[in-house]
Amino acid sequence: MTTAPTPENVLTDHHDGDHHDGDHHDVHPIRKTAMWVFLGSECVFFGAMIATFFLYRTEFGDGPTAEEIFNIPFTSASSFVLLMSSLTMVLAHNAFDHKDLRKARVWLAATALLGATFLSGQIFEFVEFVHEGLTVHSSPFGSAFYMLTSFHGAHVLIGVILLATMFVLSLSGRLYADRGLNIELVGLYWHFVDIVWIVIFTIVYLLQV
Amino acid sequence: MASTASHPSPRFYWWVAVVLAVITALEIAVGSMKFFAPVKVVGLYLLGGVKFAAVVGLFMHLKFDKPIYRSLFLVGLAGAVPIFIVLLLTFNRLT
């Protein structure tokens, strides 16, 4: 006789027999390996874009300079929000590993909200910059800046969508440990988005002013 | 499949987050320096590097996970470096 799946019992129903709390056995190795290969390729992708920004970082043309428009306190607050979302993500993963689905759900929601807050801040910043004369067409610096930060923003948006999907799946008891959209894989992607921002915040913002 | 190590506790992750927040505050302080430009640049790279390593090693579990994942990520990271250098060399902007 089988038990009907509920949000609380799916974790145990779909775990591998050799799983122990705290071990990293909850994802099929091939899927996790594929995720690390993907993240490695993303390093090359963002590396090329950061190099492009380096080429044009002082080419302000007729547009405003970085020092004139950057609002470091605001961007620092945004960076802090994204950094803390990495904490909530790792806490969600930890709770999931300990089969505490309710807590995992809370941390997932917190991560998605922090991600959405970061994105709102980025949109606000872009609107401010456009009003101050920095557009994609205003200077090579503007093109490189928007290309790099908006690609990163797109990655954050995808991450928020994935987190929201995981949250919805958890409500209906379809958040499995060993198949489907997995909390560990989404967590890896989310932390990657955070480390890319750590580099962007240093190179694009702090070193420019 | 053999286990490599167990997860740290949530308390550990909170402490990592506190350290990361302190480093971010230091970054902002160093970034606002209007003098000693070389010190500022080196300081910002160092602080950013520590944050990067902490998130990758501790939050992404590379420190505790199988070495193959570390290798895969490092290959990607190492691939980015020549692209960076070649691109800057091509446009004569390395120096």
CA distance B29 to chain A (A): 10
**Chain A CA closest to residue B11:** A91
Residue A196 burial by CB count (10 A; 0-12/13-18/19+): exposed, middle or buried? Answer: buried
Position A10 scores a pLDDT of 43
The percent of residues in chain B predicted with pLDDT above 70, rounded, is 92
Domain membership flag for residue A82: yes
Position B31 scores a pLDDT of 86
Domain membership flag for residue A150: yes
pLDDT digits (tens, 9 = 90+) for A63-116: 899 999 999 999 999 999 999 999 999 999 999 988 899 999 999 999 999 999
pLDDT digits (tens, 9 = 90+) for B35-45: 777 888 899 99
Domain membership flag for residue A73: yes
Q: List, as ranges, residues 102-161 from A with C-beta within 8 Å of B.
A: none
Element (H or E) spanning A78, and its range?
helix A72-97
Domain membership flag for residue A117: yes
CATH at residue A107: 1.20.120.80
User: Which residue from A37, A40, A83 is facing B24, i.e. has the nearest CB?
Assistant: A83
Is A21's pLDDT higher than 50? no
Q: What ipTM goes with this model?
A: 0.88
Position A11 scores a pLDDT of 46
Nearest to A92, CA basis, from A79, A78, A116, A109:
A109
Q: Both tokens of residue A21?
A: 């709390």
Q: How far apart are CA A196 and CA B82, in angstroms?
A: 18
Domain membership flag for residue A18: no
CB B13 to CB A23 under 8 A?
no
Q: Is A91 within 8 Å of chain B by CB?
A: yes
Domain region containing A178: 27-206
Nearest to A207, CA basis, from B71, B48, B72, B55:
B48
This prediction has a pTM of 0.86
Domain membership flag for residue A5: no
pLDDT digits (tens, 9 = 90+) for A154-173: 999 999 999 999 999 988 88
Number of domains, chain A? 1
Position A60 scores a pLDDT of 92
Is B30's pLDDT higher than 80? yes
